[in-house]
Amino acid sequence: MKLEYDLDAYLGKIKNSDSYFHTFINKDSLAVGVLVLKPGEEDTQTPHDSDEVYCVISGNGYLKIKDKDYKLSKDKLFFVAKDVEHYFHGNTKELKVLYFFGGPDS
């Protein structure tokens, strides 16, 4: 079982792909990944089957949770309950976010 992860390697995978996110741990009880949105890029995610925590690594913009916008900045954390509509938007700088699911990435 892998116990050490290099975030730069996963950021590189996103840079060289058509996807703006990459899940690098995906277990029954936990999923972890990284998301990168360029300015103007659309976040197309839909509500998830598990609770989720986001940790902003860098960038700016907003996280809309239900009908409220939350301002993003480095080192802020956000909790989103399962089945709740949410998405990132309005970033003028590249946005990098770690995400943690309380279950598999579905």
Per the domain annotation, does 1 fall within a domain?
A: no
Using CA atoms, how far apart are residues 60 and 2, in angstroms rounded to an integer?
A: 32
Q: Is residue 67 part of a domain?
A: yes
Residue 56 falls inside a structural domain: yes
Domain contains 17: yes
Rounded to a whole number of angstroms, the distance between the first and last alpha carbons of the chain is 21
The pTM of the full predicted model, rounded to 2 decimals, is 0.94
Question: With bands split at pLDDT 50, 70 and 90, how would you rate the model's confidence at 105?
Answer: confident
DSSP assignments along 24-64, one per residue: EEE-SS-EEEEEEE-TT--------SS-EEEEEEE---EEE
Sheet containing strand 21-26, strands side by side: 21-26, 31-37, 95-101, 52-58, 77-80
In the chain, the number of structural domains is 1
Task: Give the range of the structural domain holding residue 71, as residue numbers without chain letter.
Answer: 7-101
In a domain, 68, yes or no: yes
pLDDT tens digit sequence for 65-85: 999 999 999 999 999 999 999
User: What average pLDDT does the structure give for the chain?
Assistant: 96
* 2 found inside a domain: no
Find tokens 């690098």 and name the residue: 24
Per the domain annotation, does 11 fall within a domain? yes
106 in any annotated domain: no
Domain holding 65: CATH number? 2.60.120.10
